[in-house]
């Protein structure tokens, strides 16, 4: 059975743009987010309140957030790794935050300069304070399937981190295939194991990168398991600066095309979304890798 409705969690402005070599002007980012909202997306991850030296592409978070924070009916989650990040986000009135953990030690070190347990300890006061302020808290778990340094990631490692984050009080989890190596059978076995260990499917979203062209197949496997939150990035923008083999996320257009064909409601206008990605591709100076964008825009 497939869900009647899927919530698309748009990450292009954050996961996409954090990986661009060129610096995208703040006003172009704001215009991108406004156009995504106009295309019907209602959850649009806007930026990250991380150390500007770690992710220079998003160093303009303070300037960008106020330009888009009044979009009606749109949630604008932001990444915060620590209390410093949370304070910055709260000052600007953010209501939805995301912390980001790793299932592997290698990536925790590369991305957060911490061990897995040290990073969980770093998130604890963040989640506590955010919940006291009634913010919505998402937690990403990176490297849920494979890791560029450690290879295949054992399911029990992922389960441990997921449980710790839920116990901490996070509202939802996003299972990250950071480098895009997952395949549908692996997705199904991870979801089944999480359920067996007491993690409900209703708390889970999926976050696929499309390195091996499996992101849509993996998404379908997750939908068949009952997952209803799917991360995607407009035009397939993205990657991760701290995981070299990562390419772009599942393209939102590819996702919407599949969901439309399955009769699943998303509220997204595919024509407007495609036009937005074509416009963004023009800003970035290279075509979108999304097959659906190519097909619909005759690029």
Residues annotated as catalytic (active site), given as ranges = 240
Q: How many residues does the chain have?
A: 299
Contact criterion met (CB below 8 Å) for 78 and 46: yes
- Within residues 156-215, the interface with ligand HMG by CB under 6 A covers 176, 178, 207
Q: Give yes or no for residue 111 binding ligand HMG (CB under 6 A).
A: yes
Binding-site partner at residue 214 among ligand HMG, Mg ion, none, CB < 5 to 8 Å by type = none
| Interface of this chain with ligand HMG, residues 85 to 104, rule: CB under 6 A | 85, 88, 100
Instruction: Name the segment binding ligand HMG (CB under 6 A); options: 105-113, 182-190, 217-225, 264-272.
Output: 105-113
Does 65 bind ligand HMG (CB under 6 A)? Our answer is no
> Would you call 248 helix, strand, or coil by DSSP?
coil
Helix residue ranges, H only, the chain: 26-38, 61-68, 83-91, 105-112, 116-132, 155-168, 184-196, 215-224, 252-261, 270-284, 291-297
Q: Nearer Cβ to ligand HMG, position 154 or 271? A: 154
Beta bridge partners of 228: none
Which of the stretches 77-85, 151-159, 251-259, 272-280 binds ligand HMG when contact is defined by CB under 6 A?
Answer: 77-85
Query: Which of these, 75, 17, 14, lies nearest to 229 by C-alpha position?
Result: 75
Supply the minimum distance, in Å, between the C-beta of residue 242 and Mg ion: 10
Return the residue of 33, 112, 135, 250 that touches ligand HMG, per CB under 6 A: 112
- Minimum CB distance to ligand HMG smaller for 74 or for 240: 240
Pick from 48, 157, 229, 292: which binds ligand HMG (CB under 6 A)? 48
The single residue listed with the structure tokens 């300037």 is: 63
Helix (H, G, I), strand (E, B) or coil at 204: strand
**Is there binding between residue 153 and ligand HMG (CB under 6 A)?**
no
Longest dimension (CA), the chain: 50
Among 15, 147, 172, 210, which residue sits at the site for ligand HMG (rule: CB under 6 A)? 15
In this complex, which beta carbon is closest to ligand HMG, that of residue 47 or of residue 292? Answer: 47
Residue 11 contacts residue 46 (beta carbons within 8 Å): no
Residues in CB range of 281: below 8 A, 6 or more apart? 235, 287, 288, 293, 299
* Parallel/antiparallel/unpaired status of strands 151-152 and 146-147: antiparallel
Binding status of residue 12 toward ligand HMG by CB under 6 A: no
Give the residue with the Cβ less far from ligand HMG, 27 or 87. 87
| Secondary element (H or E) of residue 207 | strand 204-208
For residue 297, with 0-12 CB atoms within 10 Å meaning exposed, 13-18 middle and 19 or more buried, which class applies?
Answer: middle
Q: Taking CB under 5 A as the criterion, which residues in 11-30 touch Mg ion?
A: 15
The answer to whether residue 50 forms part of the interface with ligand HMG (CB under 6 A) is yes
Q: What residues make contact with Mg ion under the rule CB under 5 A?
A: 15
Enumerate binding residues for ligand HMG (CB under 6 A): 15, 18, 48-51, 54-55, 79, 81-82, 84-85, 88, 100, 111-113, 140, 142, 176, 178, 207, 240, 242
């Amino acid at each position: 059975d497939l869900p009647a409705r899927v919530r698309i969690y748009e990450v292009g402005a954050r996961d996409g743009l954090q990986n661009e070599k060129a610096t995208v002007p703040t006003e172009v980012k704001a215009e991108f987010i406004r156009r995504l909202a106009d295309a019907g997306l209602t959850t649009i991850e806007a930026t990250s309140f991380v150390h500007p030296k770690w992710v220079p592409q998003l160093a303009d978070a303070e300037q960008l957030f106020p330009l888009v924070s009044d979009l009606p009916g749109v949630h604008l989650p932001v990444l915060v790794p620590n209390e410093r990040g949370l304070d910055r986000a709260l000052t600007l009135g953010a209501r939805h935050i995301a912390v980001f953990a790793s299932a592997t030690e290698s990536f925790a070190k590369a991305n957060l300069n911490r061990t897995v347990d040290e990073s969980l300890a770093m998130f604890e006061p963040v989640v506590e304070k955010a919940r006291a302020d009634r913010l919505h808290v998402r937690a990403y778990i990176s490297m849920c399937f494979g890791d560029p340094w450690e290879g295949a990631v054992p399911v029990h490692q992922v389960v441990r981190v997921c449980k710790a984050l839920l116990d901490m009080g996070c509202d939802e989890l996003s299972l990250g295939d950071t480098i895009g190596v997952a395949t549908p059978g692996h997705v199904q076995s991870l979801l089944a194991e999480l359920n067996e260990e007491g993690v409900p499917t209703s708390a889970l979203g999926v976050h696929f990168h499309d390195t091996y062209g499996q992101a849509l197949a993996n998404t379908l496997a997750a939908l068949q398991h009952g997952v209803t939150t799917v991360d995607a990035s407009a035009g397939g923008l993205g990657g991760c600066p701290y995981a070299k083999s990562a390419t772009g996320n599942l393209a939102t257009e590819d996702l919407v095309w599949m969901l439309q064909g399955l009769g699943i409601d998303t509220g997204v206008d595919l024509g407007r979304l495609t036009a937005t990605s074509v416009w963004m591709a023009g800003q970035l100076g290279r075509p979108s890798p999304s097959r659906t964008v190519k097909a619909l825009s005759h690029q």
